Amino acid sequence: MTTPPRISCVILGHNYGRYLDRAITSCLDQEPGGYVLHEIVVIDDGSTDETEEVCRRYRDRVRIVRRDCQGFGPTLTDAFLLTGGDWVAPLDADDWFHPAKLRICAEAIIEDRLFIEHWEYVVDADGCPFIADPHPGGNTSTLLVQRDAALTLLPVTNEIFFHALREAGHGHVLPVPLVHYRVHAHNMTDRRTPGVSQHYRANVCTALAHRLRTMAAAPPSWATATVLRRMSHRFYAQAAGHRVEAHVQTGDRPACPRPLAAMLVGTIRSCAPPGPWLRAFASAVTGHPQAPLRELDNGGAGDTESDHSNTRA
């Protein structure tokens, strides 16, 4: 008889105390299924608001890790270092899980699968629907990651690092919304300033590409050296694509040829489909961004891109 997977839910928070109660409750109220809820951990990354008070109410059911502010990357890294489950389900403290999150994700766990992502509901600051239809995921709160595989990628600066497991052929996407992603005036990613989010993601993809190239010298169990090198080229191409988008957003189209050339080289070397490069080229020629900035009614912050990423320093 197969042993049910043990899942650790880890809530990542920095001054999101006003939302934390709902995040914790969503982990405690998960539907039963073919898994074991191994633990719920809250990592309080140096909050100065009511976070500590909220945590105190749950201290008998939740493990609290409180420390000086270290930033999102170290916090996400610790989500895997400080837990003991077979799988880790990270959750930003301003989001909350659907009650069926763990049950449905556990049903998708099969041999050789190391990374599961699902769709999301996008809501506003008050938790009311902001977009009528479910939206693709890829961000922190939409993931379930096999812990041993994740450890080979640490330290990370962003959840995009774990996308390497999907790129290596060990991922699965569930087109089912299993988290509520909250867009509000205090989101930690700046998507109102043209180019900022794109430059950030370009830096993350470049760092991941460097990591994968280094790992090829001593490959982990989930990828060969050849696969890691190919993936490295693909993430270099993605980084260049983000830089093209940043230049288009800021109106600096004369700066596009260099990253476009780098993106083309990475696309060819990784044997990736040419579609993303063709779209980036068209965007550079027309001057129309692929991901135009949006102003939201609830404070004008955030957007609904599938790879929205926490950029706390």
Q: How far is CA 159 from the centre of its chain?
A: 4
Q: Lowest-confidence range among 136-145, 162-171, 251-260, 302-311?
A: 302-311
pTM above 0.75, yes or no: yes
Bridge partners (DSSP) of residue 118 are 174
Provide the Cα torsion 296, 299, 303, 309; round to 10°.
Answer: 180
Confidence of residue 189 (pLDDT cuts 50, 70, 90): low
Give the Cα separation of 119 and 82 in Å (integer). 26
User: CA triplet 70, 143, 64: central angle to 5 degrees?
Assistant: 45
Confidence of residue 32 (pLDDT cuts 50, 70, 90): very high
Residue 159 is classified by DSSP as G
pLDDT exceeds 90 at position 307: no
- At 40 the pLDDT is 98
Is there a contact between 312 and 14 (Cβ–Cβ < 8 Å)? yes
pLDDT exceeds 90 at position 200: yes
Token pair 């633990």 is found at 39
- At 203 the pLDDT is 97
Kindly tell me the burial class for residue 254, based on how many C-beta atoms sit within 10 Å of its own C-beta (0-12, 13-18, 19 or more).
exposed
Confidence of residue 90 (pLDDT cuts 50, 70, 90): very high
- Render pLDDT for 245-296 as a digit per residue (tens, 0 to 9): 999 999 999 999 999 999 999 999 999 999 999 999 999 999 999 976 654 4
pLDDT exceeds 90 at position 38: yes
Give the Cα separation of 91 and 97 in Å (integer). 8
- At 183 the pLDDT is 87
Bridge partners (DSSP) of residue 87 are 7, 146
Give the Cα separation of 160 and 117 in Å (integer). 12
Cis peptide before 155 (omega within 30 of 0): yes
pLDDT exceeds 60 at position 209: yes
